[in-house]
Every structure is written in C-alpha cells, then in structure tokens.
Amino acid sequence: MSELSPQQTWQAALGELELMLSKANFTTWFKQTTVTSVGDGRVVIAVPTDFTKNYLEKKYHAAILKSLQNVLSVPLKEVTYVVDPRLEGRRGMLAGAPSAEPAAEKLSLAPPPPKEPVNEYGLRPSYTFESFIVGKGNELAHAAAQAVAEHPGQKYNPLFLYGGVGLGKTHLLHAIGHEILKTRPGTRVLCVTCEQFMNDFINAVRAGKGKELKDRYRNVDVLLVDDIQFITGKKETQEEFFHTFNALHQANKQVVLTSDRPPKAIATLEDRMRTRLEWGMMADVAAPDLETRVAILKSKCADLHALVPDEVLHEIATLVQSNVRELEGALTKITAYHQLKNSVPTLDSARAMLSGFSAQSSKKSLTARALISTVANYFDLTTEDLLGQSRAKKLSHPRQIVMYLMREEMRSSYPAIGTELGGRDHTTAMHACDKITRLAEADEKLRTDLALIRERLFAGG
Ligand code: ADP
Ligand code: MG
C-alpha cells in the first residue's frame, strides 16, 4: 500500500469512515474535506470552515486516526486540520488534486449534504414513512407508529418502540413526527434523544432556567424521545422526566419513546416510570427477514441512483443479516466502488468487498471482560489492577478509560459499568465518562491512546 498518493490515502480512509458513521454525518462532515499532505506518518487534512475543523477535532479525531492508520503503511504520528475556505461548496477530494484521481468521484455519490442533520423539530428529513420498508420484523411497530401518527394522543399513549441497534426505531420515531406535521400543520412536535433531554435539563438547572425548560417540554403536543435506555439514575433528571411525562399524558399529548430493550430491562429506570411506560403500547422491532432486506436494498438503490443486479442485491442481503444500518453501509460501499470504476457490481466483487464486513459487526460482540483486559494490556497493567480498589493515578486513569469505552463502544448503562468494574457506584462511572470526554477534547495524547485501544479492540474481530 506504500504507493498510495495522499489523495488515495485519504480516499481509502474516507471509505472506512463512511462505514463507521451514519450517512448524514459522513456527508455533512467529510464531503468537503481533502488532504494536503501525507508524509512520515503526519497527515494534514483541509476542511472548509472553522466549524468543521472544531467538529472533526472534537468528535471524529479518534475515528479519523483509526481509519488512517488502517490504510497507511507507516505508523501514524499526527493528524492536523487546516481551514481552506476554497473548499466550501466544492467536492473536497477534487480540490488541490492536480491529477484529479477518478477516485475523487466517489464522494459525489452521496445525496446532497443535508445542511442540518435534523430540522427545527429535531427530525431527520429522510426518516419518513415513505422511505420505510415494511416487512417481517417491523410490521407491528410500523402499524403502531402509523396509528399514533393518525390519532396522536388518542390511540396508544405512550407508544414504546424497542429492539436491537440499526433496525429502524429512530426512523419510525421521526416518521411519526413528519406525518403528524404533514396532516396537522402547526402541531408542536419535539423530537430529542434521551441524552439531549438530560443535557437540556442539567444545563437549565445550572443556568437557573428550570422554568424555561419545563415550558419547552410541557408545551408540546407530541414528544418523541429516542434511546430512553440511556436515562441515568440521576434523581432530579428522572424526576423531571417523570413529571414531564405525566403532564403530557394527562393532557392527552402523545409521547413516543424508543429503547434498545423493553422497560423492564432498563435497570436505571425508576419503578414508577417503568410502570407508566408499560401502560401504553409496546412494540418490538426485530431484524428484517431476507425478503425485506432485499426490498430495503432495492429502495436504497433507487435513492442512490445505482444499478445493481438482483442477484447481487440478494447476495448482499444474504451476507449482511445483522441490521439495516450495516446493510446500507454494505450497499454504499459496493455502489461507490463500481460507480468509481464505471462498472456494474457482480457477485464476485460484492463477496470480495463484503469480506471485511464481519470485522465491523464484531463490534457488537465486544464484552466487558475483553475491553478491560485490552486496556489493562495497553497500559501494562493486569485486569486485577483495574478491578481493584487502589486509587493510584496510574490505575485510576486507565480505569476511567475502561468506563468511558464501555459507555461509548458497548453503550452500557452507568450502573452496569460500575458493577463490571469491581462493584463501583454508578456516579463513579458517570464521573469517569464525563472526565474522559472532557480531557479528550484538549489532550492529544489521550485521543491517540483511545484510538489505539479501539484499534486493538476491533482489529481482527
Ligand atoms: P435504530 O434506531 O433502530 O438503531 P435506525 O432507525 O437509525 O435504527 O436505522 C438505521 C438505518 O437503517 C437508517 O438509515 C434507517 O433509515 C435505515 N432503516 C432501518 N429500517 C429500515 C426500513 N425498514 N426501511 C428503510 N430503511 C430502514
Ligand atoms: Mg436509534
């Protein structure tokens, strides 16, 4: 791989990033980037605005490091970002590339970048009922979502949608919001993630603006909350959520929640809240069957304006079974490659390109044990060191990294993290996650550590 030009290197890294991120995020943040130099393990990436620079540094630095290291033949030493306003409005990979690699065309495939990932209601424009394929696995959830969209506040309240990752829960949640706004313009719809709700609450309390927050959340007609399993034990937050929920419910305002598991399996949820959620309608979303997966692929091909033979779609649907997000990723990868080569995907090329796909899915099977021992190894410590009670800095820092990665990579709840780490309190886990998040923003060394640990975690399955 040593002969890759800087452009090709970045192109290859982008290919990896595309698989790691949602389409909207990838397009928004990476479409207009280019590379200005790659040498001696130092990479300089040019971006159109300060805003993008900050965002990449903050949110995607680790992912960028990881993807670059995967394609570079020398150890990666440093990645820096520079602002080049000329990139704005251009396809990044074309800028400053005198040889105009055909590879540059790859990014033009993505649909035009959504200026904002979500609209003023918190809804992602593309997540509508029209773009949702109904099939075995999601029929019930889809029917319940439609019923709620037709009769908000009257039919199933709350509606609780749950199921594994990448199966369309968020899509359905947003579709409800879009449909209500379409049929009843002027309805006050608010869609937030659980994390946003908690942050809003914490910030409002800090700023002494509790009342504004209450007004904001209680004056809506439809409240959509995504990923409620992330609600933490923090008493005031749950309290606020409980009261918000009750106020809306009593006023016959519609509430819809999603979660990766049913209420009874959300350990951090207070009992009274759990009971409330169980009053309503619960619908689970399961993985789509083969026929539905093929139908989803066909519909995505139409979106991408890509021509893929049926037998190839069938093959992709057979190879990628885990979830719809990965299915989309697989299709994007294959169509991108063939549009670049100006050829039509074949069975063989699809198989070859999807051979790496299992590495991606292995992420789901990461266990706490594996994570703890990887971090211990990385810092030349033992698992016992990390599970033990000593608070020496040499141990507490790696321990906090474990907690942070359990949260980020395994989406573990804070109490679960505490338990895995030798029976610590959930507030310790929360503190650790906050702290590492904060430190990583300023500390290059920490970001590199995190990237390298992630690489060890996910390398080779
Ligand atoms: P979840 O919230 O369950 O993790 P998402 O709603 O984010 O999953 O779905 C992941 C991706 O798969 C999204 O891009 C979504 O549009 C797509 N998707 C999921 N289910 C379907 C479906 N039935 N039809 C079309 N696209 C789907
Ligand atoms: Mg989701």
154 backbone dihedrals φ, ψ, rounded to 5°: -115, -30
Instruction: Read off the pTM.
Output: 0.60
Residue carrying structure tokens 């037998």: 311
Structure tokens at 43: 């990479």
- Specify the ligand 1 atom closest to the Cα of 167: 3
Q: For residue range 258-268, what is the model confidence (pLDDT) as tens digits?
A: 998 888 888 78
Q: What is the mean pLDDT of residues 70-81?
A: 86
- Rounded to whole angstroms, the Cα distance separating 270 from 11 reads 47
How far, in Å, from the CA of 39 to the mean position of ligand 1? 39
Higher pLDDT, 49 or 160: 160
User: How many Cβ atoms from other residues are within 10 Å of residue 157's Cβ?
Assistant: 19
The finding on whether 169 has its CB within 6 A of some atom of ligand 1 is yes
C-alpha 328 to ligand 1 mean position (Å): 9
21 C-beta closer than 6 A to ligand 1: no
Query: Alpha-carbon distance 323 to 344, whole Å?
Result: 25
User: Bridge partners of 225?
Assistant: 192, 257
Nearest residue CA, atom 11 of ligand 1?
A: 325
pLDDT digits (tens, 9 = 90+) for 167-187: 999 999 999 999 999 999 999
Residue 356: its pLDDT value, please? 64
Over range 195-209, report the average pLDDT: 87
The candidate with the shortest Cα–Cα distance to 452, out of 410, 405, 400, is 405
- Alpha-carbon gap, residue 294 to 226, rounded angstroms: 27
